[in-house]
Structure 1
Amino acid sequence: MNKLQALFVAVTLSQAGTVSAEQVFYFPTKGQSPEQVTKETDECSTWAISQTGFDPKKAPSAQALAQENLAKNPAQEKSHDRAVLRGAARGAIVGSTVGRWNDNDRTTAGSVGAVAGAASASKGAQKQEAQQEQARQQQALQQAQATLDEQNNTFNRAMAACMDSKGYNIR
């Protein structure tokens, strides 16, 4: 009986694949031999794959699936250039105003203000874009993991239904 129990654990672990989801164990209730257990587990696995379209042994990692989804759905166009132009315009206005108050050349002061405003806006826009991209990648990873978990659970339900019909207790 110990050899038979070891076989069940090995068969069950082989079904787990690369997906991190709930593990399912199958125990014979009709005195099936180890060879019969292996045969029926393989049959049920093939059937469950055909029913669900998902093979947990060939499933990609959540990271790989997330990268694939990110590649299919590129990030929105960046507004970096618009932010720099807005910063330059604000800087030019402030510079020319300050130049007028200080009796300096308003054109030179406006130019200096435009450069300073553009630089400041560029730095802020880059930081915001980096934060948005990081959040986008994190969301893609969470969605990929949820998708893999759902597919694995569906596969496990199909596998359990098949094994149950062949006389196994499922835990």
Structure 2
Amino acid sequence: MNAMILRAGCAIVIAVMALDALAQGKPIAYPSKGQSAQQQQKDDGACYSWAKSNTGIDPATASQAPPPQGGPAVGGGERVGGAARGAAGGAVIGAIAGDAGKGAAIGAAAGTMGGGMRARQNKRAQEANAQAQSQGAMSTYYRAWAACMQGRGYSIQ
């Protein structure tokens, strides 16, 4: 139970950090040395290429979400494992009550539901981690881009 609470808490923290990073977006460059709009566009393109080659991060691909995984059993068999554990526990309790088969069936059903819940929690945590990694990559890229633009005489906010 504590592990589930810890996972949920971590997923929430990561999601909040990702949303904060999304809200920040690309820094804004102000031409502090009187550069024209055409020159700023040229410098922006050059800094895009420079930051991409120096960080290995392409913002066109790093900002895309990973493809969603489908199916109810995503996460590596949590339902099957839950069913097996539930059936074993239910059989023991059922044997004490006088009907091991009925206890095993009830335990398997409960275990399957618990396993499905774990699968969904794990999937949400994986998606939040992927989003946080993507935002971390974008932050690295934008720091490099900003350094380049500052070197070319722009004020960055």
2:122 is paired with a residue of what secondary structure?
Answer: helix
8 Å CA contact retained: 1:164, 1:170: yes
Where do residues 26-45 of structure 1 align in structure 2 (5 Å cutoff)?
Answer: 26-45=29-48
- Secondary structure, counterpart of 2:60 in structure 1: coil
C-alpha deviation, 1:45, in angstroms: 0.6
What residue in structure 1 maps to residue 128 of structure 2?
142
Question: Within 1, Cα distance between the matches of 2:63 and 2:156?
Answer: 26
Q: Name the structure 1 match of 2:114.
A: 128
Residue matched to 2:81: 78
Quote the RMSD (CA, aligned, Å).
2.3
Gaps of 5+ in 1: 1-18, 68-72, 96-112
- In the aligned structure 2, how far is the partner of 1:155 from the partner of 1:66? 25
Q: Do the aligned partners of 1:91 and 1:116 also contact (CA within 8 Å) in 2?
A: yes
Q: Secondary structure at the match of 1:27?
A: strand
Instruction: Return the letter of the residue paired with 1:22.
Output: Q
SS in 2 for 1:152: helix
Q: What is the distance in 1 between the residues matched to 2:85 and 2:150?
A: 62
Percent identity reads 33
Which residue of 2 is the match for residue 118 of structure 1?
104
TM-score computed with the length of structure 1 as normaliser: 0.66
CA contact (8 A) 1:66 1:140 kept: no
Normalised to the residue count of structure 2, the TM-score between the two structures is 0.72
Equivalent pair of 2:29/2:149 in contact (CA under 8 Å): yes
Residue 78 of structure 2 corresponds to residue 87 of structure 1: no
Change (3 A) 1:32 1:56: same
SS where residue 20 of structure 1 aligns?
helix
Q: Deviations over 1:42-88 (max 9, x none)?
A: 110111111222122222534x2675xxxxx8466724224313322
Name the structure, 1 or 2, with higher relative contact order (CA <8 Å, separation 6+): 2
Q: What letter is aligned with 1:28?
A: P
CA contact (8 A) 1:66 1:144 kept: no
Alpha-carbon separation, structure 2, partners of 1:28 and 1:153: 22
**Conserved 8 A contact 2:85-2:111:** no
1:99-152 Cα shifts (integer Å, max 9, x gaps): xxxxxxxxxxxxxx1221012101110111011111101111221121112111
Which ranges in structure 2 are unaligned for 5 or more consecutive residues?
1-20, 70-74
Paired with 2:135 and 2:64, the residues of 1 have a C-alpha distance of: 11
| Aligned partner (choices 139, 147, 154) of residue 153 of structure 1 | 139
Would the aligned equivalents of 1:21 and 1:153 in 2 still touch at CA under 8 Å?
Answer: no
